[in-house]
Amino acid sequence: MRTLVLCALFAATLTAASPAFAQSNLRIGLAEDPDNLDPTTAGSYVGRIVLAAMCDKLFDIDAHLNIVPQLALSHTTSEDGKTVTIRLRPNVKFHDGEPFDAEAVKFTLDRHITMQGSFRKAELSQIDRVEVADPLTVRLLLKAPFSPLIAQLTDRAGMMVSPKAVREAGDKFVANPICAGPFKFIERVAQEKIVLERFGDYWDKNRIHIDRVTYFSIPDSTVRLANLRSGALDLIERVLATDIPAVRGDPKLKLLTGPSLMYTGLTINLANTDQAKNPLGQNAKVRQALELTIDRDVLNKVVFNGEFTPGNQWSSPTDPYYIQKFPIPARNIERAKALIKEAGVATPIALEVMVPNQPDLRQVAEVIQAMAAEGGFELKLRLTEFATSLSEATKGNFQLYLIGWSGRVDPDQNVINHLGCNTPFNWGKYCSETTQAALNEARLSTDPVKRKAAYEKALTQIEADRPLIYLYHQALIFAHTAKLQGYMQPPDGIIRLQDMKLAQ
The pLDDT tens digits for 165-177 are 999 999 999 999 9
The residue ranking higher by pLDDT, 425 or 11, is 425
Number of other residues whose CB lies within 10 A of the CB of residue 448: 12
What residues contact 172, with CB distance under 8 A and at least 6 apart? Answer: none
- Per residue, the 3-state secondary structure of 254-274, as one string, reads EEEEEECCCEEEEEECCCCCH
Is 282 strand, coil or helix?
helix
**What integer pLDDT is reported at residue 401 of this predicted model?**
98
**Closest by Cα among 464, 426, 421 to 276:** 426
Cβ distance 288 to 466 under 8 Å?
Answer: yes
Which whole number is the average pLDDT over 176-190?
Answer: 97
Per-residue pLDDT tens digits for 13-61: 444 443 433 448 999 999 999 999 999 999 999 999 999 999 999 999 9
- Say whether pLDDT at 12 is over 80: no
**What integer pLDDT is reported at residue 378 of this predicted model?**
98
- Residue 204 sits at φ, ψ, to 5 deg, of -120, 40
Cβ distance 41 to 118 under 8 Å?
Answer: yes
Percent of the chain at pLDDT above 70?
95
Per-residue pLDDT tens digits for 205-228: 999 999 999 999 999 999 999 999
What residues contact 424, with CB distance under 8 A and at least 6 apart? Answer: 43, 118, 119, 121, 122, 417
**Closest by Cα among 45, 43, 32, 48 to 386:** 32
**What integer pLDDT is reported at residue 19 of this predicted model?**
40
Which whole number is the average pLDDT over 336-356?
Answer: 97
**Closest by Cα among 356, 355, 357, 359 to 243:** 359
Per-residue pLDDT tens digits for 294-306: 999 999 999 999 9
The residue ranking higher by pLDDT, 207 or 7, is 207
- Say whether pLDDT at 1 is over 80: no
Cβ distance 72 to 194 under 8 Å?
Answer: no
Per-residue pLDDT tens digits for 406-441: 999 999 999 999 999 999 899 999 999 999 999 999
Cβ distance 283 to 464 under 8 Å?
Answer: no
- Say whether pLDDT at 386 is over 60: yes
Cα 402 vs. chain centroid, distance in angstroms?
Answer: 14
Residue type, 11: A
Is the entire prediction scored with pTM above 0.75? yes
Per-residue pLDDT tens digits for 56-102: 999 999 988 999 999 999 999 999 999 999 999 999 999 999 999 99
**What integer pLDDT is reported at residue 33 of this predicted model?**
95
Strands (E), 31-150: 59-61, 67-69, 72-77, 83-88, 127-134, 137-142
For each of the domains in the chain, give its residue range(s) and CATH number, in order of start: 20-55+181-260+476-502 (3.40.190.10), 59-163 (3.90.76.10), 263-473 (3.10.105.10)
Distance between CA 224 and CA 217 in Å, rounded? 9
**Closest by Cα among 318, 307, 193, 311 to 255:** 307
The pLDDT-based confidence of 2 (bands split at 50, 70, 90) is: very low
**What integer pLDDT is reported at residue 496 of this predicted model?**
96
Helices (H), 15-44: 19-24
**What integer pLDDT is reported at residue 13 of this predicted model?**
44
Cβ distance 353 to 369 under 8 Å?
Answer: yes
- Say whether pLDDT at 7 is over 50: no
- Mean pLDDT (the chain, rounded): 94
**What integer pLDDT is reported at residue 5 of this predicted model?**
34
Angle at 50 between CA 45 and CA 53, to 5 degrees: 130
Looking at the chain, how many residues does it have?
504
